[in-house]
């Protein structure tokens, strides 16, 4: 099976890193606000999805 190319494939580590950087930038610019918490939730979801994906890829 072919792997998706370009923007059709997300790299979990890069995604999590980008979300964390965004959260830091938002915190620096406007402080702890709702948007900062949204980024925290998004990062937690991305980490959870990464764990679930790894679990699903294991052989049965």
Q: Tell me the helix, strand and coil percentages in the chain, rounded to 5.
A: 75, 0, 25
Q: What is the pLDDT of residue 60?
A: 78
Q: What is the pLDDT of residue 59?
A: 84
Q: Which two tokens stand for residue 58?
A: 């294991």
Q: What is the pTM of this model?
A: 0.74
Q: Above 60 in pLDDT, residue 4?
A: no
3 phi, psi to nearest 5 deg: -85, 140
Q: What's the rounded Cα separation, in Å, for the pair 37 and 57? A: 30
Q: Above 60 in pLDDT, residue 1?
A: no
pLDDT digits (tens, 9 = 90+) for 34-56: 999 999 999 999 999 999 999 98
Q: What's the rounded Cα separation, in Å, for the pair 35 and 27? A: 9
């Amino acid at each position: 099976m072919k792997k998706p190319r370009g923007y059709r494939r997300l790299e979990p580590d890069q995604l999590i890193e980008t979300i964390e950087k965004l959260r830091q930038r938002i915190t620096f610019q406007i402080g702890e606000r709702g948007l900062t918490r949204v980024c925290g939730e998004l990062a937690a979801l991305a980490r959870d999805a990464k764990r679930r994906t790894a679990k699903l890829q294991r052989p049965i």
